[in-house]
Amino acid sequence: MLQERTRIAAAHTPIDPTSVVGWGVDANPKNDPTYPYRDRSKDEGLTSNWQRPAQQRSDVEILQSIEHIRRPAVFGTSTPPSGLSGMIRRLAFRWSESNWIHWLLLMGADRINVVEGIGQDLARAQVPNIPAEMGAKAEWQHNKKGLATKIAVTVGIGLVAYALFSRKRSDGPPQRVVKLSSGEG
Protein backbone atom coordinates (compact mmCIF):
# COMPACT_ATOMS: atom_id res chain seq x y z
CA MET A 1 0.00 0.00 0.00
CA LEU A 2 2.83 2.39 0.90
CA GLN A 3 4.59 1.61 -2.39
CA GLU A 4 1.39 2.40 -4.29
CA ARG A 5 1.05 5.77 -2.51
CA THR A 6 4.69 6.57 -3.21
CA ARG A 7 4.23 5.70 -6.89
CA ILE A 8 1.15 7.91 -7.18
CA ALA A 9 2.86 10.82 -5.41
CA ALA A 10 5.95 10.49 -7.57
CA ALA A 11 3.98 10.41 -10.82
CA HIS A 12 2.61 13.96 -10.31
CA THR A 13 -0.28 13.17 -12.59
CA PRO A 14 -3.66 14.75 -11.88
CA ILE A 15 -6.42 12.44 -10.65
CA ASP A 16 -9.23 11.72 -13.06
CA PRO A 17 -12.35 12.63 -11.03
CA THR A 18 -14.50 10.12 -12.91
CA SER A 19 -12.31 7.29 -11.61
CA VAL A 20 -12.89 8.18 -7.95
CA VAL A 21 -16.01 6.62 -6.45
CA GLY A 22 -18.26 9.32 -4.96
CA TRP A 23 -16.32 12.22 -6.44
CA GLY A 24 -18.59 15.21 -7.09
CA VAL A 25 -21.55 13.67 -5.27
CA ASP A 26 -22.51 17.14 -4.01
CA ALA A 27 -21.84 18.97 -7.27
CA ASN A 28 -25.52 19.14 -8.23
CA PRO A 29 -27.14 21.92 -6.18
CA LYS A 30 -30.58 20.35 -6.62
CA ASN A 31 -29.26 17.20 -4.89
CA ASP A 32 -27.48 19.05 -2.06
CA PRO A 33 -29.66 19.44 1.03
CA THR A 34 -27.48 22.28 2.37
CA TYR A 35 -27.45 24.26 -0.89
CA PRO A 36 -30.23 26.75 -0.14
CA TYR A 37 -28.56 27.63 3.15
CA ARG A 38 -25.16 28.11 1.59
CA ASP A 39 -26.37 30.21 -1.35
CA ARG A 40 -27.84 33.34 0.24
CA SER A 41 -27.66 35.42 -2.93
CA LYS A 42 -31.28 34.54 -3.73
CA ASP A 43 -32.55 35.10 -0.17
CA GLU A 44 -36.07 36.48 -0.33
CA GLY A 45 -35.78 37.84 3.20
CA LEU A 46 -36.88 34.72 5.05
CA THR A 47 -33.69 34.56 7.08
CA SER A 48 -33.06 38.29 7.41
CA ASN A 49 -36.50 38.88 8.96
CA TRP A 50 -36.33 35.83 11.20
CA GLN A 51 -37.71 36.38 14.67
CA ARG A 52 -36.37 34.54 17.65
CA PRO A 53 -38.82 31.98 19.08
CA ALA A 54 -40.16 32.41 22.59
CA GLN A 55 -37.69 31.38 25.29
CA GLN A 56 -38.38 28.03 26.93
CA ARG A 57 -39.10 28.33 30.62
CA SER A 58 -37.24 26.17 33.05
CA ASP A 59 -37.84 25.13 36.63
CA VAL A 60 -34.44 23.41 36.94
CA GLU A 61 -30.90 24.74 36.91
CA ILE A 62 -29.44 25.10 33.40
CA LEU A 63 -25.69 25.52 33.00
CA GLN A 64 -24.65 27.99 30.32
CA SER A 65 -21.36 28.62 28.60
CA ILE A 66 -19.64 31.90 29.41
CA GLU A 67 -19.26 32.51 25.64
CA HIS A 68 -22.99 33.02 25.12
CA ILE A 69 -25.08 35.90 26.41
CA ARG A 70 -28.35 33.98 26.24
CA ARG A 71 -29.62 30.43 26.08
CA PRO A 72 -30.97 28.85 22.93
CA ALA A 73 -34.75 28.92 22.55
CA VAL A 74 -35.02 25.21 23.45
CA PHE A 75 -32.77 23.23 25.79
CA GLY A 76 -32.81 19.98 27.73
CA THR A 77 -34.12 19.83 31.28
CA SER A 78 -34.30 16.07 31.88
CA THR A 79 -31.11 15.80 33.93
CA PRO A 80 -30.30 18.91 35.95
CA PRO A 81 -26.91 18.97 37.67
CA SER A 82 -26.96 17.29 41.08
CA GLY A 83 -24.61 15.69 43.57
CA LEU A 84 -20.84 15.64 43.19
CA SER A 85 -21.09 15.48 39.38
CA GLY A 86 -23.28 18.60 39.41
CA MET A 87 -20.73 20.45 41.54
CA ILE A 88 -18.00 19.52 39.05
CA ARG A 89 -20.18 20.61 36.11
CA ARG A 90 -20.83 23.99 37.75
CA LEU A 91 -17.07 24.35 38.23
CA ALA A 92 -16.43 23.45 34.57
CA PHE A 93 -18.72 26.23 33.34
CA ARG A 94 -16.51 28.83 35.00
CA TRP A 95 -14.02 28.26 32.15
CA SER A 96 -14.35 28.97 28.46
CA GLU A 97 -15.22 26.17 26.05
CA SER A 98 -11.83 26.76 24.44
CA ASN A 99 -10.07 25.80 27.66
CA TRP A 100 -9.16 22.12 28.08
CA ILE A 101 -9.99 22.15 31.81
CA HIS A 102 -13.65 22.84 30.91
CA TRP A 103 -13.89 19.63 28.91
CA LEU A 104 -11.81 17.50 31.29
CA LEU A 105 -14.06 18.48 34.17
CA LEU A 106 -17.19 17.69 32.14
CA MET A 107 -15.80 14.27 31.17
CA GLY A 108 -14.91 13.56 34.78
CA ALA A 109 -18.39 14.64 35.88
CA ASP A 110 -19.89 12.19 33.36
CA ARG A 111 -17.90 9.31 34.87
CA ILE A 112 -18.89 10.30 38.40
CA ASN A 113 -22.52 10.60 37.30
CA VAL A 114 -22.43 6.96 36.16
CA VAL A 115 -21.32 5.87 39.64
CA GLU A 116 -23.99 8.10 41.21
CA GLY A 117 -26.62 6.50 38.98
CA ILE A 118 -25.56 3.01 40.04
CA GLY A 119 -25.80 4.12 43.67
CA GLN A 120 -29.31 5.52 43.07
CA ASP A 121 -30.38 2.23 41.44
CA LEU A 122 -29.06 0.23 44.39
CA ALA A 123 -30.76 2.62 46.85
CA ARG A 124 -34.09 1.87 45.10
CA ALA A 125 -33.34 -1.88 45.38
CA GLN A 126 -32.80 -2.17 41.62
CA VAL A 127 -29.78 -4.07 40.39
CA PRO A 128 -28.46 -2.24 37.32
CA ASN A 129 -27.64 -4.28 34.23
CA ILE A 130 -24.23 -2.69 33.75
CA PRO A 131 -23.07 -4.81 30.77
CA ALA A 132 -26.25 -3.94 28.82
CA GLU A 133 -25.95 -0.26 29.71
CA MET A 134 -22.34 -0.27 28.52
CA GLY A 135 -23.29 -1.79 25.15
CA ALA A 136 -21.82 -5.25 25.64
CA LYS A 137 -24.23 -6.81 23.11
CA ALA A 138 -23.23 -4.37 20.37
CA GLU A 139 -19.57 -4.76 21.28
CA TRP A 140 -19.91 -8.55 21.03
CA GLN A 141 -21.42 -8.19 17.56
CA HIS A 142 -18.96 -5.64 16.20
CA ASN A 143 -15.76 -5.73 18.29
CA LYS A 144 -15.21 -9.15 19.85
CA LYS A 145 -11.47 -8.64 20.27
CA GLY A 146 -11.97 -5.33 22.07
CA LEU A 147 -14.62 -6.83 24.35
CA ALA A 148 -12.35 -9.77 25.19
CA THR A 149 -9.54 -7.35 26.04
CA LYS A 150 -11.81 -5.30 28.31
CA ILE A 151 -13.04 -8.43 30.08
CA ALA A 152 -9.49 -9.71 30.56
CA VAL A 153 -8.31 -6.39 31.98
CA THR A 154 -11.33 -6.18 34.31
CA VAL A 155 -10.83 -9.74 35.56
CA GLY A 156 -7.11 -9.10 36.04
CA ILE A 157 -7.73 -5.94 38.07
CA GLY A 158 -10.37 -7.78 40.09
CA LEU A 159 -8.00 -10.65 40.90
CA VAL A 160 -5.22 -8.27 41.94
CA ALA A 161 -7.63 -6.31 44.16
CA TYR A 162 -8.96 -9.53 45.70
CA ALA A 163 -5.43 -10.77 46.38
CA LEU A 164 -4.44 -7.50 48.04
CA PHE A 165 -7.56 -7.33 50.22
CA SER A 166 -7.50 -11.00 51.22
CA ARG A 167 -3.82 -10.76 52.21
CA LYS A 168 -4.48 -7.78 54.46
CA ARG A 169 -7.43 -9.55 56.07
CA SER A 170 -5.42 -12.74 56.74
CA ASP A 171 -2.55 -10.76 58.28
CA GLY A 172 -4.94 -9.16 60.75
CA PRO A 173 -3.87 -7.51 63.97
CA PRO A 174 -0.95 -9.04 65.82
CA GLN A 175 -1.91 -11.73 68.32
CA ARG A 176 -0.69 -11.51 71.87
CA VAL A 177 0.78 -14.66 73.34
CA VAL A 178 0.27 -15.06 77.06
CA LYS A 179 2.48 -17.59 78.84
CA LEU A 180 0.90 -19.15 81.88
CA SER A 181 3.10 -20.53 84.61
CA SER A 182 2.19 -23.82 86.24
CA GLY A 183 3.01 -22.63 89.72
CA GLU A 184 5.87 -25.08 90.18
CA GLY A 185 8.97 -23.58 91.25
pLDDT tens per residue across span 2-56: 666 666 666 666 777 778 887 877 777 777 666 666 666 666 665 666 778 888 8
0.85 cut: is pTM over it? no
Q: Are residues 99 and 119 both part of a single domain?
A: yes
Q: Are residues 91 and 122 both part of a single domain?
A: yes
Distance of alpha carbon 66 from alpha carbon 94, whole angstroms: 7
* 159 belongs to a structural domain: yes
Q: Are residues 120 and 160 both part of a single domain?
A: no
* 17 belongs to a structural domain: no
- Specify whether the CB–CB gap between 65 and 97 falls below 8 A: yes
Q: Are residues 99 and 122 both part of a single domain?
A: yes
Q: Are residues 66 and 118 both part of a single domain?
A: yes
pLDDT of residue 101: 96
Q: Are residues 146 and 158 both part of a single domain?
A: yes
Q: Are residues 89 and 146 both part of a single domain?
A: no
* 47 belongs to a structural domain: no
Q: Are residues 120 and 140 both part of a single domain?
A: no
Average pLDDT over residues 126-149: 90
pLDDT in tens, 102-121: 999 999 999 999 999 999 99
Domain range for residue 152? Answer: 132-166
* Cβ-based neighbours of 56, under 8 Å, separated by 6 or more: 71, 73, 74, 75
* 182 belongs to a structural domain: no
The identity of residue 158, as a single letter, is G
Secondary-structure breakdown of the chain: helix, strand, coil percentages, each rounded to the nearest 5:
50, 0, 50
Q: Are residues 66 and 119 both part of a single domain?
A: yes
Q: Are residues 95 and 118 both part of a single domain?
A: yes
* 142 belongs to a structural domain: yes
* 140 belongs to a structural domain: yes
Report how many domains make up the chain: 2
Q: Are residues 113 and 147 both part of a single domain?
A: no
